[in-house]
């Protein structure tokens, strides 16, 4: 049987063409749902499948759909195609090569929560993808798979794309909704959560592209079929984005529970030029640094196990760090990113990322003392738990784990400074 649920285009040529997709049972699931299933039944299947959000939080998808307020209408579905986490490039491959399966997922989700309009929010850089999607959506209207009174029922659905314009924060679901409403992309207070108060203040389901792309096959083949992949608590497959110091970077769709070692060495072909792996960032720039011990490498990659090695699976975008990389340099990179992307709404994130950037620059630039490292640690800890949204909280993960787990690197950097300081000419007086 097939090894792919999501990246099926890799074995089915031209799956991106509507007729090919339909030859491979495309839109059967949507047809089945609309014509022969109650919305609640669709939600039940997805619940039973144990599908969890692939956008990072890993929240059970069926449960999210069930939360949608039935007393407040209309409802909306928004597909999160903002894919801006450094090291993440999976949704892109899906939308470029297996777009119809994604669109069918959007459609089924919309039917499940009885939304008649769904938006796909893409990061502005995905301009070309958005235009391809527009054409494909047009094809779907033309072939009666979208539009009014679908399959002779009274259910109608429209799907629109909406381009962001360069803001990582718009991946955060409430910031995305604000942005979609034509406002600054700044996060809302939560609660209320989108299923009760979402787009235009209406109940809304926000799901990641990968999450939604799982749905058609789940509805077609049933929950137990889906559960044969992955683990008890983290069923199904996941696209792992492999980047950094690795021989074969790219997307790998593997069952959840695959170990780091399998991914990095069997699939990713190991570290270039036979160098040593030093650390792993399993969730892009937003994750803690895992020390690449054997124990860590043999840890299964699922939502439950990764925390045991002091990180989170998140979006499963693994950035591989080898022994030539200096951690102070690395966190300087991540902090520059977060400083650049902080929306500015809340004080700790706005000021903290800015302050940390000054410190990491000084440290990475070898102009720092150990006090600066201590201060950096303080500033990061001072932000912890105080930010309005997770961006600020993410920004300190690499910093704190880095200083704690790779103290040596920092001592080296500071040592360099001390040395430099000693060479300074002594003022003659």
Q: Is 189 among the residues that bind other proteins (CB under 8 A)?
A: yes
Question: Residue 86's CB: how many other CB atoms inside 10 A?
Answer: 18
CB of 254 to ligand FMN, least distance (A): 18
Contact 346, 116 (CB under 8 A): no
Binder to other proteins among 351, 367, 369, 370 (CB under 8 A)?
Answer: 351
- Counting Cα atoms < 13 Å in the Cβ hemisphere of 37 gives 24
Residue corresponding to tokens 């160098």:
275
106 binds ligand FMN (CB under 6 A): no
Q: Tell me how far, at minimum, the Cβ of 82 lies from ligand FMN, in Å.
A: 4
C-beta separation of 340 from 348 below 8 A: no
Q: Which is nearer to ligand FMN, 105 or 255 (CB)?
A: 105
Which residues 74-93 are close enough to bind other proteins by CB under 8 A?
83-89, 91-92
Q: Does 163 bind other proteins (CB under 8 A)?
A: yes
Please identify, using beta-carbon distances, which residue of 8 and 92 lies nearer to other proteins. Answer: 92
Using CB under 8 A, count the residues that bind other proteins.
76
| DSSP 8-state assignment for residue 266 | I
Shortest distance in whole angstroms from residue 414 CB to other proteins? 16
**Residue 231 or 417 with smaller CB distance to ligand FMN:** 231
Contact with ligand FMN (CB under 6 A) among 16, 83, 93, 253: 83
- The rounded distance, in Å, linking the Cα atoms of 98 and 104 is 10
Residues 165-184 close enough to bind ligand FMN by CB under 6 A: 169, 171-173
Judge contact between 111 and 150, C-beta under 8 A.
no
Q: Long-range pairs for 419-428 at CB < 8 Å and ≥24 separation?
A: 420/366
Q: Please report, as residue ranges, which positions from 345 to 404 form the binding site for ligand FMN (by CB under 6 A).
A: 389-391
Out of 62, 85, 130, 396, name the contact with ligand FMN by CB under 6 A. Answer: 85
Interhelix angle 347-364/327-341, nearest 10 degrees: 150
397: partner contacted, choices ligand FMN, other proteins, none (Cβ within 5-8 A by kind): none
Give the Cα separation of 65 and 388 in Å (integer): 25
Position 164 contacts other proteins (CB under 8 A):
yes
Beta strands at 237-244 and 204-208: parallel, antiparallel or unpaired: unpaired
234 binds other proteins (CB under 8 A): no
Contact with ligand FMN (CB under 6 A) among 15, 109, 206, 277: 206
Helix (H) or strand (E) holding 420: helix 407-423
Q: Where are the alpha helices (DSSP H) in 126-167?
A: 127-142
User: Which of ligand FMN, other proteins, none sits in contact with 354, Cβ below 5 to 8 A by type?
Assistant: other proteins
Residue 171 near which of other proteins, ligand FMN, none (CB within 5-8 Å, type-dependent): ligand FMN
Q: Cβ distance 142 to 105 under 8 Å?
A: no
User: CB burial class (10 A; 0-12, 13-18, 19+) of residue 120?
Assistant: buried
The residues in 40-59 that bind other proteins, with binding defined as CB under 8 A, are: none
Binding site for ligand FMN (CB under 6 A): 53-57, 59, 80, 82-85, 169, 171-173, 206-208, 211, 389-391
């Amino acid at each position: 049987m097939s090894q792919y649920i999501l990246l099926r285009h890799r074995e089915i040529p031209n799956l991106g063409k509507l007729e090919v997709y339909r030859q491979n049972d495309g839109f059967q699931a949507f047809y089945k749902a609309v014509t022969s299933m109650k919305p609640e039944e669709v939600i039940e299947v997805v619940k039973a499948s144990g599908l969890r959000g692939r956008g990072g939080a890993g929240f059970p998808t069926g449960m999210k759909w069930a939360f949608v307020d039935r007393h407040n209408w209309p409802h909306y579905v928004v597909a999160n195609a903002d894919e801006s986490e450094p090291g993440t490039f999976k949704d892109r491959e899906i939308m470029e090569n297996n777009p119809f399966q994604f669109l069918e997922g959007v459609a089924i989700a919309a039917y499940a929560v009885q939304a008649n309009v769904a938006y796909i929010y893409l990061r502005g850089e995905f301009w070309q993808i958005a235009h391809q999607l527009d054409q494909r959506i047009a094809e779907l209207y033309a072939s009666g798979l979208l539009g009014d009174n679908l399959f002779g029922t009274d259910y109608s659905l429209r799907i629109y794309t909406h381009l962001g314009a360069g803001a990582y924060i718009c991946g955060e679901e409430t910031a995305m909704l604000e942005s979609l409403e034509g406002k600054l992309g700044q996060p809302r207070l939560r609660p209320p959560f989108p299923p009760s108060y979402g787009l235009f203040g209406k109940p809304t389901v926000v799901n990641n592209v990968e999450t939604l792309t799982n749905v058609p096959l789940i509805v077609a083949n049933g929950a137990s079929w889906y559960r044969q992949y992955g683990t008890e608590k983290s069923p199904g497959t996941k696209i792992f984005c492999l980047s950094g110091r690795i021989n074969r970077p790219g997307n790998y769709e593997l069952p959840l529970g695959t170990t780091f070692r399998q991914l990095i060495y069997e699939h990713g072909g190991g570290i270039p030029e036979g160098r040593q792996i030093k650390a792993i960032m399993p969730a892009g720039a937003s994750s803690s640094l895992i020390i690449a011990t054997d124990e860590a490498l043999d840890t299964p990659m699922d939502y439950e196990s990764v925390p045991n090695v002091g990180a989170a699976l998140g979006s499963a975008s693994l950035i591989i760090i080898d022994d030539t990389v200096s951690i102070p340099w690395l966190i300087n990179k991540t902090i520059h990113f977060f400083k650049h992307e902080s929306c500015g709404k809340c004080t700790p994130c706005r000021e903290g990322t800015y302050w940390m950037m000054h410190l990491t620059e000084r440290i990475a630039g070898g102009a720092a003392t150990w006090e600066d490292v201590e201060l950096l640690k303080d500033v990061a800890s001072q932000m912890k738990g105080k930010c309005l949204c997770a961006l600020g909280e993410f920004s300190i993960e690499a910093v704190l784990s880095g200083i704690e787990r790779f103290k040596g690197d920092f001592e080296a950097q500071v040592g360099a400074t001390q040395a430099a300081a000693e060479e300074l000419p002594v003022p003659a007086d």
